[in-house]
Amino acid sequence: METALQSKVYANRKMWFSMWFLSAIVTFGVAFFPMFHRLVEGRNRHFNREADLQKQVADFLKSKGKQAPALSEGLAQRSSKAWAASIILVVPAFVITYLLSKDLLVHERNQDAFLAAAFPERMFMPQTIPIKTYVLITIVTLGVGGIYWLYKVVNLYNAHFNAQIQVEKEIVRLMEEENTVGAM
């Protein structure tokens, strides 16, 4: 099981918001299109990976004769091309930022609930995303706060992807520990 899990471990590419933002300024906003495309593609790829990971953990637990927790409901795939193209209207950029924030929040809660059921001794903690605060800042600043919100979304996804590497290492450790205890 360990080799199957580790062979599929991949590191999500880190996005540097400052690079994308400066590129967008230089290109009069054109760089926002590939930025949003990459954000949505990374989100989709990661959520698919998480669904595969949950299936592997459930199969492992079943093979050990334990009750596997119910798999969390996967979040819908988003069309990265359609989303990136829609930002030409400006307003969808705020909607996309909101949905990316909300999707990550829901994903982390589902992931935490699944891992808590699968490994009660675990120590995983989801991030908190103050979406209401970001919306308020965006409204009060007449949209300029959306840049800060987008910056935070990029950083939250980067932090989540980094934490996912640690979560997978911890899952492998717990599975190895379970195998060792089961072999005795």
33: in domain: yes
In-domain check, residue 182:
no
Looking at per-residue pLDDT, the higher value among 120 and 111 belongs to 111
Tell me the pTM. 0.83
Instruction: Evaluate whether residue 2 is within a structural domain.
Output: no
- Write out the residue range of the structural domain in which residue 106 sits: 16-175
Q: Which pLDDT belongs to residue 69?
A: 83
- Express each pLDDT in 83-92 by its tens digit: 899 988 888 8
Token pair for 26: 């230089």
C-alpha to C-alpha distance for 81 and 34, rounded to whole angstroms = 9
Distance CA 113, CA 117 (A): 6
Residue 8: inside a domain: no
* Domain assignment present for 116: yes
| The total number of structural domains that make up the chain | 1
Instruction: Let me know if residue 10 belongs to a domain.
Output: no
**How far apart (Å, rounded) are the C-alpha atoms in residues 171 and 116?**
11
The type of residue at 64 is K
3 falls within a domain: no
User: What's the rounded Cα separation, in Å, for the pair 153 and 102?
Assistant: 10
By the 8 A CB rule, do 175 and 60 touch? yes
C-alpha 44/C-alpha 24 separation (Å) is 23
> Would 181 be classed as within a structural domain?
no
Per-residue pLDDT, averaged over 107-112, amounts to 89
